[in-house]
């Protein structure tokens, strides 16, 4: 990730937007990497005979995300909503792969 300048150091909206754009690129990179792990999860679930949706695991991930968000000063409800969408997309991807 490119080195960011602190929000308070941004002197113009152009400076600020450049920082936000850099963060967005990094977020997309991380989400793309995460999707590779979801693909592998589908492979392993197929081998291990596991379903795409594991309710306990979904709750565990959402709890961890909410907790981490709180620790970092991010609204935990926002984080939980974003991850719930991400998780559902991942589950649907696994369902297609597993043929459920």
SS3 96: helix
Handedness of CA 37, 83, 85, 98 (dihedral sign): positive
Pick from 59, 50, 56: nearest CA to 98: 50
Pick from 50, 49, 83: nearest CA to 66: 83
Chain CA centroid to CA 60, Å: 14
Q: Which two tokens stand for residue 34?
A: 């995460």
Check whether 93 is labelled as a binding-site residue: no
Check whether 45 is labelled as a binding-site residue: yes
Check whether 17 is labelled as a binding-site residue: yes
Check whether 97 is labelled as a binding-site residue: no
Annotated binding site for substrate: 17, 34, 45, 94
Annotated binding site: 17, 34, 45, 94
């Amino acid at each position: 990730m490119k080195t960011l300048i602190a929000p308070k150091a941004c002197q113009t909206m152009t400076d600020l937007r450049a920082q936000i754009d850099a963060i967005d690129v990094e977020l997309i990179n991380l989400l793309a990497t995460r999707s590779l792990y979801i693909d592998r999860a589908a492979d392993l679930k197929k081998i291990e005979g596991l379903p795409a949706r594991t309710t306990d695991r979904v709750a565990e991930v959402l709890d961890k995300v909410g907790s981490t968000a709180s620790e970092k000063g991010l609204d935990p409800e926002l984080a939980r909503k974003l991850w719930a969408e991400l998780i559902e997309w991942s589950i649907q991807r696994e369902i297609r792969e597993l043929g459920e």
